[in-house]
Amino acid sequence: MSEFNIFLIRPVIKWLGIVLGIPGNILSAIVWLRRRQNSSAIYIAALAINDLVILMISLGDNVIPYDSGPEYAFLYLQQSAQNLESLLVLGFSVERLFAIVRPFKVSFTRINVRY
């Protein structure tokens, strides 16, 4: 592929991801926050909100020119949000591991049994 096509395709894919990702993550967060029955819904809603933050930072990074000064702020916020994404996935995986390894302990701690 020629260099012209690569430089033309990358911004198109980036803007397409931003345009489709922002409404998609908003809808995903709304849907998952309405389902508060389990902790998995909370984790997935948190991932959708974090992805929305990453897309908004990327949008701001594309709109504000680099010579105006806040490029380090955008870089710091974007790196923080990307690191939080990994931690959320780790927390979700550990929580699911506990649910698989000790299913009775996890299910009994959630049920309020009154005698």
- Does any domain span residue 94? yes
Mean pLDDT within 49-76: 76
pLDDT at 114: 54
Q: Which two tokens stand for residue 66?
A: 């680099």
Distances (CA, A) of 63 to 47, 60, 103, 107: 24, 5, 48, 48
Instruction: Provide the domain limits for residue 35.
Output: 3-110
Q: What is the distance between the alpha carbons of residues 71 and 114, in angstroms, rounded to a whole number?
A: 56
Band of residue 49 on the pLDDT scale cut at 50, 70, 90: very high
Residue 20 lies in a domain: yes
Into how many domains does the chain fold?
A: 1
* Segment 16-42 mean pLDDT: 87
Whole-number pLDDT of residue 71 = 64
| Domain-embedded: residue 80 | yes
Report yes or no on 115 lying in a domain.
Answer: no
